């Protein structure tokens, strides 16, 4: 984990392929529900501003998120889970998300190691699938 609590992976694919693969992986998991998708670069363009391709997808599993919020309600500030996909100025596509173990410290959760380890593993699997 980086000290900022942000995990970043570089995709071997272009932006749209990476995002669509990510979306497909999340959508294909019966335990996960996509809550919201934001196209930051599309919103910038509507205001005559330029931003490299940038989208964020918010999704969750209430069976895992709810116990975390029961433990520390402020974690709702960081839930549902979100994954940012963007193309940097060098043309590299990055997939970025919050490390759940960092959120544990940030929100002072106690006794949630099993749930957080499960969430960490799921996020790693989802993002590895999307970037390869």
- pLDDT tens for 79-104 read 999 999 999 999 999 999 999 999 99
> pLDDT (tens digit, 9 = 90+) per residue, 30-50?
999 999 999 999 999 999 999
Q: Which two tokens stand for residue 104?
A: 């544990």
Residue range(s) defining the domain that contains residue 63: 6-131
Does residue 40 fall inside a structural domain? Answer: yes
d(CA 15, CA 17): 6
pLDDT of the residue at 119: 95
- In the chain, the number of structural domains is 1
Does residue 1 fall inside a structural domain? Answer: no
For the beta sheet containing 81-87, the strands, ordered from the edge strand earlier in sequence to the opposite edge, are 6-10, 93-98, 81-87, 54-60, 33-39
> pLDDT (tens digit, 9 = 90+) per residue, 18-35?
999 999 999 999 999 999
Predicted confidence band of residue 1 (pLDDT cuts 50, 70, 90): very low
Neighbour tally for 111: CB within 10 Å: 9
CATH of the domain at 22: 3.30.310.70
Does residue 17 fall inside a structural domain? Answer: yes
Does residue 127 fall inside a structural domain? Answer: yes
């Amino acid at each position: 984990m980086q000290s900022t609590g942000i995990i970043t992976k570089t995709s071997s694919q272009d932006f749209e392929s990476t995002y669509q693969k990510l979306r497909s992986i999340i959508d294909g998991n019966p335990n996960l529900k996509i809550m919201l998708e934001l196209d930051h670069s599309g919103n910038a363009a509507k205001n005559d501003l330029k931003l490299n391709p940038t989208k964020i997808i918010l999704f969750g599993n209430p069976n895992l998120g709810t116990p975390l919020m029961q433990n520390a309600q402020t974690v709702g500030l960081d839930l549902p889970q979100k994954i940012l996909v963007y193309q940097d100025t060098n043309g590299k596509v990055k997939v970025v998300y919050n490390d759940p173990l960092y959120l544990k410290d940030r929100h002072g959760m106690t006794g949630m190691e099993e749930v957080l380890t499960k969430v960490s593993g799921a996020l790693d699997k989802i993002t590895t699938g999307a970037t390869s």
